[in-house]
Amino acid sequence: MFNGKQFIHIPEDESSVCITSADNLQFMTTKCSDLFADGTFNYAPKYFTQLYTIHGFKNGYYLHLKSKEMYKKIWLFLKELCIKCNETEFILQKLHVDFEKAAHQAASEVFEDVQLISCRFHLGQSWWRKINSDSVLRLAYKKKGKYALGNWLKMFFGLAFLPSHEISDAFTCVLPLQCSMPLKLSYYSCLFRFFKANT
């Protein structure tokens, strides 16, 4: 209790700890159409895998699992808390979130009409992880101007700066530019699937 009000809420299955207040829930259900959500592992408290924070105002979750089921439990529990504490239904309209597939799926299943919006930073982070995990891509990317493949990869990072309605056309223009490189066709196919899945 803080100032006579409960601010720590734990679901029956004890799968997470939700730290929020009635004021936050009231704000979330009546004055907030966009929310931002992301998890971090570096600052998770002892015995938990991650700290998952939902920002509309100040809503936070401590998680010990990172799965679609866990994220669904979070959203369902928040919906339940909104009704219990404020007698207001929580209808999420827009969620700004990273590229974690489980988080996207969970939010879409709990909130049918939610618009999921991902940010350029997390897109770049996802692409950079892929480039760094492959020795050919990493070498080509790091040798400035020396490899056509590296220059081609750098073009993809620029796509995020285009207006959203132009990205698909630009992607199809950039993709064939690299086909003259002596890499196996299956490698291009793999790259294409990766970039398509993360855009």
Give me the amino acid identity at 140. A
pLDDT on residue 77: 92
pLDDT on residue 51: 85
Collapsing DSSP to helix, strand or coil, 171 comes out as: helix
pLDDT on residue 58: 41
Counts for the chain of helices (H) and strands (E), in that order? 8, 7
Say how far apart CA 13 and CA 24 lie, in whole Å: 23
pLDDT on residue 60: 58
Give me the amino acid identity at 49. T
pLDDT on residue 180: 53
Burial class (CB in 10 A: 0-12, 13-18, 19+), 73: buried
Closest CA to 62 of 52, 70, 72, 75: 52
Model confidence pTM above 0.75: no
Segments in the chain below pLDDT 50: 57-59, 184-186
Which residue segments constitute the domains of the chain, with CATH numbers given? Answer: 8-117 (3.30.420), 120-197 (no CATH)
pLDDT on residue 57: 42
pLDDT on residue 79: 94
**pLDDT tens, position by position, 38-94:** 888 877 778 888 888 887 644 455 555 678 998 999 899 999 989 988 898 998 999
